Amino acid sequence: MRTRAAVAEAIGAPLAIRELELDELRADEVRVRMVASGVCHTDAVVRGGMIPTPLPAVLGHEGAGVVEEVGAEVTRVRPGDHVVLSSNSCGRCAECLRGEQAYCEDLFGRNFAARRPDGSTWLSADGTSIGSGFFGQSSFSAVSNVAERSIVKVDPDVDLSIVAPLGCGINTGAGTVLNEFRPGAGATLAVFGTGAVGLAAVMAARTTATTRIIAVDVVPQRLELARELGATDTLDGADPELAEQLKSLTGGHGLDFALDTTARPSTLRVAVDALAVRGVAAEVGSAHAGTEVALETGASLNKGWTVKTVIQGSSVPQVFIPALIELWRQGRFPFDRLISHYPFAAIEEAFDDSAKGVAIKPVVVF
């Protein structure tokens, strides 16, 4: 069948909306007609060449839509079901079997290779393969074949144009707080960078017993929104006295938890230096391969702190995304305030607005 899709044809090139051929459904795939898709920073860095996904390819990995057809081996959904799409995984490696599918041993192949495991693609143009299967979905296509493990079934009364971006960025920020940090009563937590991921972390922290939630950014409007969404304190990330400000806000104790979304080594260093004894810092931002951070390990040895990288909020999407939707319905996780909608034809504008900071979480609607 034919479908309309936005194709990343070359590194740095504008997306081209083209008519493509969608191949036959495989046994473990689900055909989904997209209603909406979030535009994520990961799409931008892949398009920019930071991550070596082969181009041309159809990107998009925060899709939401309605099931049209299912493969012979699919058991999770049936035609007519409403679904949100998230990351893909093999389901067979040791990490997947432990329930840690965010750390699947075939993470790159299942999510960034834009190919099925057998090397085939499900989109083509005039007989030429177009990379597809990005995160098992390639949601910048009006209709797509989707890996069953990327599928999250949701209630049919949920607005798919609202919940689409739960598949990656918001999942990452909220999951890092709720799945990795799990802050207890009286905890102090700082979020460095208040884009969609950082603000999701702020909102998630607000649902816990964390008593001090510090948002750090260089954009005053985003800091204002962070305070509205649950931050107890906001700090200017460009302040040369940032480290002292963090120390003062924690009464000299330091941070129990620090989440960096910026992927800037200097920012992560500030976050780690601000940790309390037994504090935990998590890096969730995308950096170029080979990026290094210098950390002090002499005087810090007695702190017993932990520094880790986190992917996809360490979540099982089929469990975690419905939980986030329920928190949203209860008014406790108002992520919809981050969303700006764009028609699919304006997808390039959505990318531009995201890069400029005009939109926190762009969502294109088919």
Do both 207 and 123 map to the same domain? Answer: no
Give the whole-number percent of the chain exceeding pLDDT 70: 100
Q: What is the pLDDT of residues 197-252, one digit of tens each?
A: 999 999 999 999 999 999 999 999 999 999 999 999 999 999 999 999 999 999 99
Is residue 40 very low, low, confident or very high in pLDDT (cuts 50, 70, 90)?
very high
pLDDT score for 336: 98
Does 228 share its domain with 341?
Answer: no
> Are 18 and 146 part of one and the same domain?
yes
* 205 and 280 both lie in a single domain: yes
For 98, phi then psi, to 5°, come to: -85, 0
pLDDT band at 183 (very low <50, low <70, confident <90, very high): very high
CATH of the domain at 52: 3.90.180.10
Is 320 contained in some domain?
no
Quick check: 131 and 115 in contact, CB under 8 A?
yes
Residue 84 covered by a domain: yes
- Domain membership of residue 345 (yes or no) is yes
**Are 163 and 188 found together in one domain?**
no
Identify whether residues 233 and 351 lie together within a single domain: no
Position 132 in a domain: yes
CA-CA distance, 31 to 101, in Å (whole number)? Answer: 22
Instruction: Tell me: do 108 and 48 sit in the same domain.
Output: yes
CATH, residue 300:
3.40.50.720
Same domain, 161 and 180: no
CB 108 within 8 A of CB 3: no
Q: Is the pTM of the predicted complex or chain greater than 0.85? A: yes
Residue 149's pLDDT band, with cuts at 50, 70 and 90, is very high
Shared-domain flag, residues 348 and 268: no
**Region at 331 (left for phi over 0; alpha for psi -120 to 50; beta for the rest):** left
Question: CB-based burial of residue 21 (10 Å sphere; 0-12 exposed, 13-18 middle, 19+ buried)?
Answer: middle
Residue 329 falls inside a structural domain: no
What pLDDT is recorded for position 64?
98
If asked whether residues 29 and 106 sit together in one domain, one would say: yes
Placement of tokens 């037994």 in the chain: 278
d(CA 99, CA 101): 6
pLDDT tens string 11-29: 999 999 999 999 999 999 9
Q: How many folded domains does the chain comprise? A: 2
Distance of alpha carbon 319 from alpha carbon 312, whole angstroms = 13
User: Does residue 128 belong to any structural domain of this protein?
Assistant: yes
On whether both 217 and 134 belong to a single domain, the answer is no
Q: Which domain holds residue 125?
A: 2-167+334-365
With respect to residue 318, please indicate whether it lies within any of the assigned structural domains: no
Q: Are residues 163 and 176 in the same domain?
A: no
Residues 60, 165 contacting (CB under 8 angstroms): no
- 278: pLDDT confidence band, cut at 50, 70 and 90? very high
**Do the domain assignments include residue 268?**
yes
